[in-house]
Structure 1
Amino acid sequence: MTTQAVHLFAGPGGLDAGALERNVHGPGIEWDDSAVATRRAAGLPTIHADVRKHGPRDFPQATVLTAGPPCQTFTIAGGGSGRAELARIVEAVKRLGAGEPVAYNDFADERTGLILEPLRWAISDFECGYNAIVLEQVPQALPVWEAYAEVLRDHGYSVATGILRTEQYGVPQTRRRAVLVARLDGEVELPKPIHRPYRPGVPQHEGDPQLEPWLSMGEALPHRGPFTVVSNYGTGGDPKKRGRRTSAEPAFTVTGKISRLRLLDPDGCELPRLTPSEAGRLQGFPADWPWSGGDISQQIGNACPTPLAAALIEAATTPARTLEIAA
């Protein structure tokens, strides 16, 4: 049977694509013109709007709610105003849970308050409640999801939160995400890892024999041949701190600056930089995903990796006991 969902802050379709792999269908709400262009080119049902202008009653068939709110104020690469206001955000979550109003302009950056929107959708109209909820954000936002969990449990949900490593779910990239999965009609657990964690210097074939090897950039981009990526991410611009990984390793965390990465061949000569299709593959998207509009690098960097999305959707829509029996 097909399950209906609604995806908030849907971006270019990472959560949608993962959901479709689990036969979960439904529209995404996205306000960014460029991300909307990509979604529509991919044939994803899309509402070009601010999520604050809609609510559960606009999607009465949806039983699954997913969201990846804007991360710019929480991420290490951003200004950090969201991180600085974590205590106030957690308090706002508690107020929402108690039925009190919260104004987004209470925060230094209005985007920070958007992390509260999924909770409004989940509890403001319980007659239109959801059987399953999936949320993802940067690791720094985990305290917000933990506060969400307390509220959702008060509303009858089983909830699990934590930080997951994307390479353990089939993404050829090391990326950590704070996640929440909740289920109304059964116990829920975080998805169990399928692949081994990446450890620098530890060969791909070594590690827990019950887990599959992590995936490398070379496996995602076999047409490229051997190469080395030179990253400026997280170095503060200091050339001496630039990280390097070979194509036999997973990619660094994909960000909106991925188009700036340098690629070198085994002799140290410059290679063409990653195309949108190749960068998308490192996020788990199909090679033919029709990236459209502007700011494509930013779209790719902001997306939820599709294999992680599929694992989260499965965890939220399948009772934990069923998963254990299947295993």
Structure 2
Amino acid sequence: MLSLIDLFAGCGGMTSGFAAAGGYRPVMAVEWDLHAAATYAANFGEDHIRWSDIAAVPDAAIPEVDVIVGGPPCQGFSNLGSKDVNDPRNSLWREYLRFVRRARPAVFVIENVDRFLASTEFALLEAETEGYELTAGVLSAADFGVPQRRRRAIVIGSRIGRIPLPAPTHSRDRWHTVGDVLRGLPERPATTFLPDSQAEFFGTTVPGPFKGLDLHVGRNPTPLSLERYRHIPPGGGRFDLPTELLPRCWREKKTGTTDVMGRMRWDEPSVTIRTEFYKPEKGRYLHPQWEPGVDGHRVDRPITHLEAARLQSFPDSFEWCGSKIEVARQIGNAVPPSLARAIAEHLKPYLVDVAAAHDPHSR
């Protein structure tokens, strides 16, 4: 078994993929957000996750491992963030490298937004990873079995020889689609609330854990919002709204993103699932069911938490902790497990000698 550390672990999307690939054993994870750490603990055990600021983890507590994975916060690089070069979150990759120097993994993997590769911080990271060969590029989650067009920067660092990025496992004509994962779920969620359930992690009580249909929760849109949703066809967006339904800001801005107030298509992957997928004004997050005509069958609502988790390739058995907003943030911030699994399986042949060194029967 290859030992694994997951940094900035969030809810555990990366660990989920590596565990599903088999052959990897998580021995440490670090996450500062309580509810994300609780979600991780609910799925992978509380014994090895530290609910802590990564900077507060002492060197002496960092074990030597075979693989380190993680995604330092990306707000400083994201198109949706401030893009402030002085954003202190930009330098958290330095904490990641502190773990690399201490744990001396054979391989490490960094996941981030695609803009990261063009940043000054990435150039500095390249200069400070002595002893490791780096391979970096942008992967689309749809090419690895995720029903979502999510483009992410992946950096593989290796001290056992250069490791290329994984090749796509799914060609465009075999992409998983919105329909593959949303069909069959109730069109009208039975509730707008998560169940009244609590659990204790790290000596603290948190909401949860929730799984499966627990997460199929709706909202209560206003009549105006419902009227707007009614006019949006699959693939459409705010430009499909009649003038009288446009808010002033949209009426006066006739250019810009087409995803806002958008509706998904059954036969395509979704757009990137972000942390506020339950707000159609934030992107193409309306349910795909829409038929033309006065009597056309339409499902006029944003996707639910369960639908968003499926679009991120989480299994229904995955357990979540936190409020609706906190769980949504975890879903949107996560590395899709299917993408992580593809990376984990790609790394295995390169790590075979490392694994053999741990197996007494191979000596």
Q: TM-score when scaled to structure 1? A: 0.75
> Is the deviation greater in 298-307 or in 215-224?
215-224
2-structure distance, mates of 1:216, 1:142: 28
Q: Tell me the CA shift for residue 41 of structure 1.
A: 2.1
Tell me which of 132, 141, 163 is aligned to 1:188: 163
Q: Tell me the CA shift for residue 75 of structure 1.
A: 1.0
Counterparts in 2 of 1:146-161, with a 5 A limit?
Answer: 147-152=124-129, 154-155=130-131, 157-161=132-136
- 1:116 maps to which residue? 94
Q: Indicate if the aligned counterparts of 2:135 and 2:162 stay in contact, CA closer than 8 A.
A: no
Report SS of the residue matched to 2:72: coil
Q: Indicate if the aligned counterparts of 2:133 and 2:158 stay in contact, CA closer than 8 A.
A: yes
Tell me which of 333, 346, 358 is aligned to 1:302: 333
Amino acid at match of 1:116: R
Q: Indicate if the aligned counterparts of 2:178 and 2:268 stay in contact, CA closer than 8 A.
A: yes
- 2:36 maps to which residue? 35
- 1:102 maps to which residue? none
- Are residue 269 (structure 1) and residue 298 (structure 2) matched? yes
2-structure distance, mates of 1:165, 1:60: 32
Alpha carbons of structure 1 residues 320 and 54: separation in structure 2 relative to 1, 3 Å: closer
- 1:311 maps to which residue? 342
For residues 16-55 of structure 1, the C-alpha deviation after alignment (integer angstroms, 9 at most, x for no partner) is 1011023212131101012112112223442101111225
For residues 156-184 of structure 1, the C-alpha deviation after alignment (integer angstroms, 9 at most, x for no partner) is x2321001111001110001001111222
> Is the deviation greater in 258-267 or in 34-43?
258-267
1-structure distance, mates of 2:170, 2:56: 40
1-structure distance, mates of 2:329, 2:159: 34
Q: Indicate if the aligned counterparts of 1:231 and 1:262 stay in contact, CA closer than 8 A.
A: no
- 2:309 maps to which residue? 280
1-structure distance, mates of 2:322, 2:180: 28
- Are residue 246 (structure 1) and residue 221 (structure 2) matched? no
Report SS of the residue matched to 1:113: helix
Report SS of the residue matched to 2:264: strand
Amino acid at match of 1:39: Y
Amino acid at match of 1:292: C
- Are residue 177 (structure 1) and residue 152 (structure 2) matched? yes
- 2:62 maps to which residue? 59
Report SS of the residue matched to 2:90: helix
Report SS of the residue matched to 1:179: strand
Amino acid at match of 1:33: L
- Are residue 217 (structure 1) and residue 174 (structure 2) matched? no
Give structure 2 stretches of 5+ with no counterpart: 188-232, 239-246, 280-284, 354-363
> Is the deviation greater in 301-310 or in 20-29?
20-29
Q: TM-score when scaled to structure 2? A: 0.68
Report SS of the residue matched to 2:37: helix
Amino acid at match of 2:69: T
1-structure distance, mates of 2:58, 2:151: 30
Q: Indicate if the aligned counterparts of 1:12 and 1:39 stay in contact, CA closer than 8 A.
A: yes
Report SS of the residue matched to 2:184: helix
Q: Indicate if the aligned counterparts of 2:263 and 2:286 stay in contact, CA closer than 8 A.
A: no
Q: How many residues align?
A: 274
- 2:275 maps to which residue? 256
For residues 78-106 of structure 1, the C-alpha deviation after alignment (integer angstroms, 9 at most, x for no partner) is 1221xxx2xxxxxxxxxxxxxxxxxxxxx
1-structure distance, mates of 2:316, 2:307: 7
2-structure distance, mates of 1:119, 1:196: 34
Alpha carbons of structure 1 residues 129 and 277: separation in structure 2 relative to 1, 3 Å: same
Q: Considering only aligned residues, what root-mean-square deviation do their CA atoms show, in Å?
A: 2.8
Counterparts in 2 of 1:92-171, with a 5 A limit?
Answer: 107=86, 109-123=87-101, 125=102, 128-143=103-118, 144-145=121-122, 147-152=124-129, 154-155=130-131, 157-171=132-146
Amino acid at match of 1:148: L
Report SS of the residue matched to 1:315: helix
Q: Indicate if the aligned counterparts of 1:188 and 1:315 stay in contact, CA closer than 8 A.
A: no
Q: Indicate if the aligned counterparts of 1:277 and 1:288 stay in contact, CA closer than 8 A.
A: no
Report SS of the residue matched to 1:66: strand
Alpha carbons of structure 1 residues 273 and 41: separation in structure 2 relative to 1, 3 Å: farther
